[in-house]
Amino acid sequence: MAITALKYTVQEKALILGIESSCDETAASVLRREADGSIEILSSVIASQDEKHAPFGGVVPEIAARAHMQKLDDIIESAVTRADVQYSDLSAIAATSGPGLIGGVIAGLMGAKGLAMSLDVPLIAVNHLEGHALSPRLAGECPFPYLLLLISGGHTQLLSVKGLGDYQRLGSTVDDAAGEAFDKTAKVMGLGFPGGPNVERTAKNGNPAAIKLPRPFKGKDHADFSFAGLKTAVARAYDASDKTEIAKADIAASFQEAVCDVLTERSLRAMQMFRDDIKAEPDSAQRFVVAGGVAANSQIRSSLDKLCEDSNFSLLAPPLKFCTDNAAMIALAGAEHYALGNFDNMDVKARPRWPLDGDSAKHNPASGFGKKGPKS
């Protein structure tokens, strides 16, 4: 993020409009931050694109970008109206500028630039992952430092969060994200889109011990993840099954159980690394935050809650409505940067890749390295 003095004066209070368009939700939110750091969400509006992508079993980038352009103006207008404020009351415009599907990110960022210029207020380009990292603060206090498990359709990471902009990656997926594994499992068995909720719903009627599935990296002395092999094992199990509803339920339950085991086992290793990172006493109480769309899964939350109880960590998570992509978390991140005077110039670019912890991603790109830098 560029830190620019420009011509703007930071006020003790801030009214921030947040815009989110990194994947298949078009969202806008108005959030008020008080001088003491407390916040109030005045509005949060989300337009889903599930119906448009359902026939394809996944998000189609071109369709998503077009839908963002069609809906963005109305969603912003609705957020401002529901907040019962005027555009002239806004202190700044915050928008996701990466990582994400580049067409959608561009649509939201360009809309934010236009608004910021017309209102003569600062533009704040927000890292989508930072929005997730701060999202538990939408529901109450969540003091730094804390260990973050970010699990979504595009990201599975464990990070030490020591302050705004101060993030250290402890582990990441070396191939696929957990959310992608859920979506692939749903697609293989014809459960429909979005995959995550449908797999969870189907799993409720299944036996989690019915199918033997791998637990990648189990016992390894690091905190990285791998889900590609698990996806393949699920596909093979379904091909070998009789494809009845009972078989689908058993495979879904066994898959979900495997994901829970992987997340808790890798998180336990990260807890040890986190205590070392912040130089905490071995048995001191710490905070564990889970965020991202997959954090809405009730069995995953339950398994992580049990892990935290056994490991002297307290589990913190955003409300379910703020686990998936939303603009309130973008407005919150924008408000925190606004309070420090961290503004961006109008030439800031949309980024398909933007690691939350650039330094560690550069030196250890566990999820690959592309032409434009390390993947998130």
> Mean pLDDT per segment of 10 residues, for the chain of length 376 residues?
55 90 93 93 92 81 87 96 97 96 94 97 96 91 94 91 94 94 94 92 97 96 96 97 97 98 97 94 91 92 96 92 93 95 94 79 49 42
Find the radius of gyration of the CA atoms of the chain. Answer: 20
Which CATH number goes with the domain that contains 85? 3.30.420.40
Q: Which of 286, 302, 317 is the last residue of a domain?
A: 317
79 and 120 within one domain: yes
286 and 199 within one domain: yes
In a domain, 4, yes or no: no
pTM over 0.85: yes
281 and 178 within one domain: yes
Q: Which of 298, 317, 336 is the last residue of a domain?
A: 317
Query: What is the rounded CA–CA span in Å between residue 189 and residue 167?
Result: 38
183 and 103 within one domain: no
In a domain, 28, yes or no: yes
122 and 212 within one domain: no
In a domain, 252, yes or no: yes
* CB neighbourhood size of 364 (10 A): 14
In a domain, 8, yes or no: no
Query: What is the rounded CA–CA span in Å between residue 281 and residue 279?
Result: 7
Give residue 16's pLDDT.
98
172 and 307 within one domain: yes
Query: What is the number of domains present in the chain?
Result: 2
282 and 238 within one domain: yes
Give residue 216's pLDDT.
95
Q: Which of 317, 339, 354 is the last residue of a domain?
A: 317
130 and 48 within one domain: yes
| CB of 22 closer than 8 Å to CB of 152 | no
Give residue 212's pLDDT.
97
Query: What is the rounded CA–CA span in Å between residue 51 and residue 239?
Result: 27
Give residue 99's pLDDT.
93
Residue among 281, 279, 277, 291 at smallest CA distance from 332: 291
Question: Which helix or strand (DSSP H or E) is residue 24 part of?
Answer: none
Q: Supply the range of the domain harboring residue 270.
A: 144-317
Helix (H, G, I), strand (E, B) or coil at 131: helix
Give residue 23's pLDDT.
86
